[in-house]
Amino acid sequence: MMFEVAAVALFPAMFLALARAIAGPTVYDRVLAVNTFGTFTVLMIAVLGFMTDQKDFIDIALAYALINFIGTIAVLKFFAVGDFGYQQESKK
């Protein structure tokens, strides 16, 4: 019962983060909103894993947390530097 309440309480937070992702004027607001949404997803997967008593959801949550971080840093590098830094190798 407890995990259902937590999952239901997590849903509006995720929608609000999505609202910021859609409304965000600059690209950095969108990156921030997507990063926050990713953290909420990690917690939602962990809670759902406990709700349905499938403990391998926790591994999925761990993998999602790793990938969420890598994705955020990749998008930031692209928007900050303008490219992923492959052009230098091709120019040499």
Partner 1 sequence: MISTVLDSLSWLLLLSGCACLLISAIGLLRMPDLFTRMHAAGIGDTLGAILVLAGLMLQAGLSITLVKLVLILFFLLFTSPTACHALARAALAGGQKPLLAENLNTENPISESSPTEQPLP
Instruction: List residues near partner 1 by CB under 8 A.
Output: 2-3, 5-6, 9-10, 12-14, 16-17, 19-20, 23, 25-29, 31-33, 35-36, 39-40, 42-43, 46-47, 50, 55, 58-59, 61-62, 65-66, 69, 72-73, 76-77, 79-80, 82
CA R_g for the chain: 17
CB 12 within 8 A of CB 38: no
Q: Can you state the angle between helices 27-51 and 2-23, rounded to 10 degrees?
A: 170
Could you tell me the smallest distance in angstroms from the CB atom of residue 89 to partner 1? 21
